[in-house]
Amino acid sequence: MLVFGLIHGYLLLWTGEILYDYALMGFIVYSSRNMAPLKLTIVALILFSVGSLWSYVDYKKDVKFMEDVALIKTYKSENKNLN
């Protein structure tokens, strides 16, 4: 899957290729197959927390961007200088 994902993603220029991601996740899942259930739960909670924090930070950046766009539109409608 990894090879097909790389071929599709880089040689055929298919930007939405998911096979590469699935192959990498498969390596991670396969390597953790012998972990204790408690340890897997802790790792899952940590990864979920990191992902949630990452999404929240991206959301806050998007909100700030939209506020800046609204401010620029206001300045343009009032013929103010954007500097």
Residues 51 and 76: their CA atoms lie apart, in Å, by: 37
Whether 5 has a pLDDT exceeding 80, the answer reads no
CB 69 within 8 A of CB 61: no
Written as six digits, the tokens of 27 are 């390596």
pTM for the full predicted model: 0.59
Closest CA to 32 of 43, 47, 45, 18: 43
pLDDT, one tens digit per residue, over 26-69 is 888 998 999 999 999 999 999 999 999 999 999 999 999 999 99
Domain ranges of the chain: 1-33, 35-83
